[in-house]
Amino acid sequence: MVPQNHVHGRCQVWDAPNLIVTDASAFPGSGVAGTTLTVMALTLCACRHLVDGEEYSS
């Protein structure tokens, strides 16, 4: 995997430190069905990290 082509584990874009992707485009491939709850969980997790002031790093 090339860092420029995806987001890391906290949904942050590698080349843009202030860009957090919290929708289905963060997935490495297309989902079969029912990705809504997973997207909601990713968004919740990313928001918690932002509120807690945790640093986003590789």
- What is residue 14's predicted lDDT score, i.e. its pLDDT? 79
- Positions in the chain whose pLDDT score sits under 70: 1-5, 31, 54-58
Residues 6 or more apart whose Cβ sits within 8 Å of residue 10: 20, 45, 46, 49, 56
- What is residue 57's predicted lDDT score, i.e. its pLDDT? 54
Cα distances from 45 to residues 1, 2, 18, in angstroms, run 23, 24, 16
How far is Cα 12 from Cα 29, in angstroms, rounded to an integer? Answer: 17
- What is residue 53's predicted lDDT score, i.e. its pLDDT? 75
Length of the chain in terms of residues written: 58
